[in-house]
């Protein structure tokens, strides 16, 4: 059974039960009220009649003298008869009791129920009792019993009784009306409730569809968020947030997977070139060229270069993967950049004795940062190697400065510069200006490593280049103190 049907049935059933309970309660309350009301009518009838008789005498009671007030203080049979006659009627029967509980007179057609002796004693003692119901429910009687006071003295008791049949009729009629109304209301509810429930459940149906669409791979699917912030509204919002999060996560994964694929294929491509060369050389040697000393030397020299190049490439790859694998604890050496620069310049001067290099250091010991000494050395070596390769001649100027909490390190050369169109890309892995491995001596990983290291140390790399020269500037957080 659907939720909609269940909710509808439940609410209609609840409504019906409440209406029925209400109708039952009304029936009972009305019954009690009608009897109470009838009893007070009877009581009033007694009081009224006795008072009238007392004041005006009794014209229709022949045995007594008309002029004499009825209540001379004693109840004689004639007076009793007279009072009974005035009280009794076709539906109401009256009984007058004298002070000895004996029936002094009675009148009226209806039955005269016998009440408990205790009640008669009480009435004769002067206290009126509540009304009494007697008989079975099909022929129920209601009776009231009042002391009969003449001139302030209790001289007997009056009992008035009548059938409650008319009350039953009224009650039954009410029951019919209530029953019909309940039925009509239940019918209306049964028609309207499913519509209301269905309306309330519409957002849930939309959510179900959206969830199915998401599961089927439609990551762009969202549900309309209702403006109200009820449970369904919050659910819709949560669903949309979840869908967006899933989409983001999948996007990130796809991106990193794509990046990984490119990286692996680029690396394989880079390794294949020297391997092909090596294979060619080995083939040549295998065919007997080793016999010729000059060819052998050339071949070995070429093989040596390829192997050197390959190991440099593999080392660069290793550094990059280590930098980018998460969870590697970062070393926190206190590194003096001035000293690293000095060391690098010394090494470089051995290889390029004619290159003019100037070092402009600030206050000694100020350019200190916290980090991995070997990685930072690699940054300086890479920049220096690039300047030597791509901007030989002119002057290479190193400059270190500390400004507040930042240490900056820059290398300016007077080379041909880097075309503006490729300035964005030179930090990419394997990117070389001017094509593949054949035309340039590097792997294209140097600046990628520079950027990775600097960013891992919380710094930035800047580049300014023109046809007159290029300046790389590295900013790193300074070590405290
Ligand atoms: N100082 C420089 N002057 C001009 N071009 C440079 C300089 N440094 C780097 N480049 C350019 O940036 C490219 C990428 O450098 P890099 O990542 O170190 O790779 P590689 O040195 O292996 O070619 C180089 O191919 C070169 O064209
Ligand atoms: Mg390089």
DSSP 175-218: HHHHHHHHHHHHHHHHHHHHHHHHHHHHHHHHHHHHHHHHHTT-
Contact 175, 27 (CB under 8 A): yes
SS3 call for 429? coil
pLDDT at position 73 is 53
Please give the Cα distance from 290 to 360 (Å, whole number). Answer: 52
- pLDDT score for 437: 44
Q: State which of 382, 385, 426 you would mutate to test the pocket of ligand 1, scoring each by most atoms of that ligand within 8 A of its C-beta.
A: 426
Q: With residue 294 as reference, give the H or E element that holds it.
A: helix 293-324
Q: Is 231 exposed, middle or buried (0-12, 13-18, 19+ CB in 10 A)?
A: exposed
Q: Which ligand 1 atom is nearest residue 448's CA? A: 17
pLDDT digits (tens, 9 = 90+) for 313-342: 999 998 888 887 777 777 889 999 999 999
Report the nearest atom of ligand 1 relative to the CA of 382: 18
* Residue carrying the six token digits 């909490």: 405
The pLDDT value recorded for residue 18 is: 92
Work out the number of other CB atoms within 10 angstroms of the CB of residue 477. Answer: 14
pLDDT of residue 56: 62
| Ligand 1 atom nearest residue 413's Cα | 1
Q: What is the pLDDT of residue 438?
A: 46
Does any ligand 1 atom lie closer than 6 A to the CB of residue 447? yes
Whole-number Å distance between alpha carbons of 410 and 399: 5
> Cβ distance 178 to 26 under 8 Å?
yes
**Ligand 1 pocket residue status of 469, Cβ below 6 Å:** no
> Rounded to the nearest whole angstrom, what is the distance from the C-alpha of residue 385 to the centroid of ligand 1?
9
Q: What is the pLDDT along the chain (481 residues), one digit of tens a residue?
A: 788 899 999 999 999 999 999 989 999 999 999 999 999 999 999 888 888 776 665 555 655 444 444 445 567 777 788 888 888 888 899 999 888 888 888 888 667 888 888 888 888 888 887 888 888 777 888 999 999 887 778 888 999 999 888 888 998 899 899 999 999 999 999 999 999 999 888 888 888 999 999 999 888 888 888 777 788 888 888 999 999 999 999 999 999 899 889 888 988 988 898 899 899 989 888 887 777 888 888 888 889 988 988 998 999 998 888 887 777 777 889 999 999 999 999 999 998 999 999 999 989 889 999 999 999 999 999 999 999 999 999 999 999 999 999 999 999 999 999 999 999 999 998 888 765 444 446 788 999 999 999 999 999 999 999 999 999 999 999 998 6
Which among 381, 283, 376 has a CA at the least distance from the CA of 334?
376
Size (the chain), residues:
481
According to DSSP H, which parts of 325-457 are helical? 337-351, 373-390, 420-423, 446-456
Q: Looking at residue 62, what is its pLDDT? A: 54
- Give the residue, out of 270, 316, 390, 467, with the most ligand 1 atoms within 8 A of its beta carbon, to mutate for a pocket test: 390
What is the signed CA dihedral for 211, 255, 269, 318, rounded to 10 degrees? -120
CB of 410 within 6 A of ligand 1: the answer is no
Q: State whether the beta carbon of 383 lies less than 6 angstroms from ligand 1.
A: no
Residues 6 or more apart in contact with residue 56 via CB below 8 angstroms? none
Q: Are 428 and 405 in contact (CB under 8 A)?
A: no
Q: How far is CA 108 from CA 86, 111, 118, 129, 159, in A?
A: 10, 8, 24, 22, 12
The string of pLDDT tens digits covering residues 116-156 is 888 888 888 888 878 888 887 778 889 999 998 877 788 88
pLDDT of residue 288: 79
Q: Using an 8 Å Cβ cutoff, are 449 and 316 in contact?
A: yes
């Amino acid at each position: 059974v659907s939720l909609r049907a269940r909710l509808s049935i439940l609410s209609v059933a609840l409504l019906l039960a409440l209406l029925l309970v209400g109708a039952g309660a009304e029936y009972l309350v009305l019954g009690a009220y009608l009897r109470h009301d009838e009893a007070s009518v009877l009581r009033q009838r007694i009081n009224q009649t006795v008072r009238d008789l007392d004041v005006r005498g009794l014209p229709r009671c022949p045995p007594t003298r008309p002029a004499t007030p009825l209540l001379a203080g004693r109840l004689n049979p004639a007076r009793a008869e007279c009072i009974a006659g005035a009280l009794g009627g076709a539906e109401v029967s009256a009984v007058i009791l004298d002070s000895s509980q004996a029936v002094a007179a009675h009148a009226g057609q209806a039955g005269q129920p016998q009440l408990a002796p205790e009640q008669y004693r009480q009435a004769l003692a002067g206290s009126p009792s509540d009304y009494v119901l007697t008989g079975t429910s099909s022929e129920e009687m209601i009776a009231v019993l009042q002391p009969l006071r003449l001139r302030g003295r209790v001289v007997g008791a009056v009992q008035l009784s009548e059938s409650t049949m008319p009350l039953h009729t009224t009650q039954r009629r009410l029951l019919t009306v209530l029953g019909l109304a309940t039925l009509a209301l239940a019918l209306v509810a049964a028609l309207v409730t499913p519509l209301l429930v269905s309306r309330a459940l519409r957002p849930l149906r939309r959510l179900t569809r959206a969830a199915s669409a998401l599961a089927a791979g439609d990551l762009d699917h969202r549900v309309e968020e209702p403006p109200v912030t009820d449970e369904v509204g919050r659910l819709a919002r949560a669903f949309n947030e979840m869908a967006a999060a899933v989409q983001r996560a999948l996007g990130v994964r796809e991106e990193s997977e794509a990046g990984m694929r490119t990286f692996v294929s680029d690396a394989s491509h880079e390794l294949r070139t020297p391997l092909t060369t090596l294979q060619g050389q080995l083939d040549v040697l295998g065919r007997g060229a080793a016999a010729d000393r000059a060819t052998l030397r050339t071949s070995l020299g070429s093989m040596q270069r390829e192997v050197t190049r390959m190991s440099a490439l593999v080392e660069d790859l290793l550094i990059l993967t280590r930098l980018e694998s998460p969870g590697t604890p970062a070393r926190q050496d206190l590194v003096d950049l001035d000293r690293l620069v000095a060391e690098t310049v010394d090494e470089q001067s051995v290889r390029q004795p004619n290159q003019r290099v100037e070092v402009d250091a600030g206050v000694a010991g100020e350019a200190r940062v916290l980090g991995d000494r070997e990685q930072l050395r690699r940054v300086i070596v890479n920049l220096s190697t690039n300047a030597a390769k791509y901007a030989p001649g002119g002057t290479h100027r190193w400059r270190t400065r500390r400004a507040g909490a930042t240490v900056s390190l820059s290398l300016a050369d007077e080379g041909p510069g880097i075309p503006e169109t490729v300035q964005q890309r030179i930090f990419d892995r394997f990117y070389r200006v001017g094509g593949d491995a054949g035309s340039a001596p590097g792997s294209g990983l140097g600046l990628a490593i520079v950027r990775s290291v600097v960013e891992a140390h919380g710094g930035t790399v800047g580049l300014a280049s023109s046809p007159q020269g290029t300046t790389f500037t590295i900013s790193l957080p300074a070590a405290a103190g």
